[in-house]
Structure 1
Amino acid sequence: MLTFENLQRQYRLGGQRVNALCGVSGQIERGEMVALCGPSGSGKSTLLNILGLLDMAYDGSVVLDGEVMPKAGRLVQQRQAATLRRSKMGFIFQRFNLIPVMTALENVCFPLMLNGMDRHTQIRLATEMLEAVGLAEFIHHRPDHLSGGQQQRVAVARALVHSPSLVIADEPTASLDSQSAGKIIALMKALGHRQGTTFVIATHDPRMARQCDRVMTLCDGQISEEGMSWAS
């Protein structure tokens, strides 16, 4: 479902070149939840950004649902990447990244609106997804009237409402207490498996890693000796 081969990415830091990824390859099946672990600077964020088409200046290849992902280039590649992000991908962030002036319902409707869906269907699907994450009573609340755990539930609903093939999650439980984190992990796993959505999750949280189907460990821009292991 998601295949990446020989990914290499370099950055310039002052007058030096830094190798963020050094030939990383892997394959993730549809509906799998994979934890991306490793120390700071290991290449986790770089790999997430490439898989999510947020960074297209890399060598190697990424294939999602049989389609080769575009790389940096002309405007047509940039437009293709934007379309793929809207239609095939969802994103969950550590700081939730909800739009503060929008209600929970409006935040979840937002990706549906970007995809050109009619308003009636937007509201129906967003309401159903908010009910699925246990926020039926809070659909008209703005983010500043929700707890951290509730805000992250809205973010999960927003990421999944358009049934994406792939969800990219960057430290989704780092800002949450243990109880809220556990609920979010279980929710992501249940909804992802139900929809057949693949998750790639960068995390330092052992609770998150243990609940994933597999763990990919990166070190110095390469898959470490542990490589791809089954989570216990």
Structure 2
Amino acid sequence: MITFNHIQRHYQLGSQSVPALKSVSGEIQSGEMVALCGPSGSGKSTLLNILGLLDMQYQGDVTLNGEAVPRAPKQAARIRRSQMGFIFQRFNLVPVMSALENVAYPLMLNGLDRKQQIAQATRMLDMVGLQDYIHHRPDNLSGGQQQRVAIARAMVHHPSVVIADEPTASLDSKTANLVVDIMRDLGHEMNTTFVIATHDSRMASRCNRTIELLDGELHAHNSNLGVISWAS
């Protein structure tokens, strides 16, 4: 479970302090697939970065699996490596590495031996339907295939949370639906929580819930909590 309580984040623009988040609170249950939605400037990317331990310059409290997340950079990095995966709009694959090497990279960072790296990375690429492309480099893969490699990389070490930033924005509808299906299936199988910032209604409608942000605040909906709405 992820909880965030009274999160405030301000950015300094010259002599002005501009609020990006205004005392935002909520919780995300283990295994949920939750979409953070809202227009540009609503605060969703800021909240995503805070929940992903990429931004520590905030006020408030965040807990992961019942424990307060550390603010120290080295400790936060250790948690990101061991308990989190990340998926980006532009894939962020290492261009000189094969699909297998890209997926194995987090395992190397976590200290697994080469045999384990290859075995687990190969299995993950098989799970996302890329068993025939393990030796291809990113520039020899389509956009959808690159995103599937990125999903395999994010999931290969069985993280408790995956943070995804606009994972379907650059994909056509058919490919986007395939990517969402893969994320949902892997999330269910591994009981992984997905927190996804998106403008894409295709993505949001397939998530368990949406959290709507507007001008740095949670936008009220007809729900028990008053701030979170169930996606249809």
What interval of TM-score do these two structures reach, taking the shorter chain for normalisation? over 0.9
TM-score normalised by the chain length of structure 2: 0.97
Amino acid at match of 2:185: A
Structure 1 residue ranges, 4+ long, deviating more than 6 angstroms after superposition: none
Q: What is the CA distance between 1:221 and its match in structure 2?
A: 0.6
Amino acid at match of 2:93: L
CA offsets 1:76-99 (integer angstroms, 9 cap, x no match): x11100100000000000000000
More moved, 10-19 vs 107-116: 10-19
Q: RMSD of the TM alignment (CA)? A: 0.6
- Corresponding position of 1:140: 135
Which residue of 199, 204, 212 maps to 2:207? Answer: 212
TM-score normalised by the chain length of structure 1: 0.97
Which residue of 111, 121, 130 maps to 2:125? Answer: 130
Q: What is the CA distance between 1:13 and its match in structure 2?
A: 1.1
Q: Would you say 1:7 and 2:2 are equivalent positions?
A: no
Percent of pairs with identical residues:
67
Task: Tell me the SS of whatever aligns to 1:136.
Answer: coil
- Corresponding position of 2:52: 52
CA offsets 1:91-113 (integer angstroms, 9 cap, x no match): 00000000000000000000000
Q: What is the CA distance between 1:70 and its match in structure 2?
A: 1.5
Q: What are the within-5 Å matches in structure 2 for residues 62-211 of structure 1?
A: 62-71=62-71, 77-211=72-206
Amino acid at match of 2:36: L
CA offsets 1:125-163 (integer angstroms, 9 cap, x no match): 000000000000000000000000000000000000000
Q: What is the CA distance between 1:29 and its match in structure 2?
A: 0.6
Q: What is the CA distance between 1:193 and its match in structure 2?
A: 1.1
Structure 2 spans left out of the alignment, 5+ residues: 222-226
**For residues 209 and 171 of structure 1, what CA distance do their matches in structure 2 show?**
10
Q: What is the CA distance between 1:181 and its match in structure 2?
A: 0.3
Task: Tell me the SS of whatever aligns to 2:220.
Answer: strand
Amino acid at match of 2:15: G
- Corresponding position of 1:74: none
